[in-house]
Amino acid sequence: MNREDLDRALLIAHRDEDLAELVRLYTYAADAAEEVADIDRACFYLTHAFVFALESGAPEAEPLNARLANRGRATRLTF
């Protein structure tokens, strides 16, 4: 997915308040940023994915929190 498609998909997911899709898309964006070693950008997207996962009670919250904690960007939480 290119950047323009990702941005469009994120806007639609936000408009529709589709929390599961927001978790998926922000995680996808974080993974893409990590692939090019852009850790700050990856953590920005991971934080968004984590917040939406928490908000929706999604099981992805735990591994997202672990990824952020491993990067020193969050405290490891117990789920």
Looking at residue 30, what is its pLDDT?
98
Which tokens sit at 29? 């964006």
Give the separation between CA 19 and CA 28, rounded to whole angstroms: 14
Give average pLDDT by consecutive 10-residue segment, the chain, 79 residues.
95 98 98 97 98 97 98 95
Give the separation between CA 42 and CA 70, rounded to whole angstroms: 12
Looking at residue 22, what is its pLDDT?
98
Provide, for the chain, the percentages of residues in helix, strand and coil under a 3-state DSSP scheme, each rounded to the nearest 5.
75, 0, 25
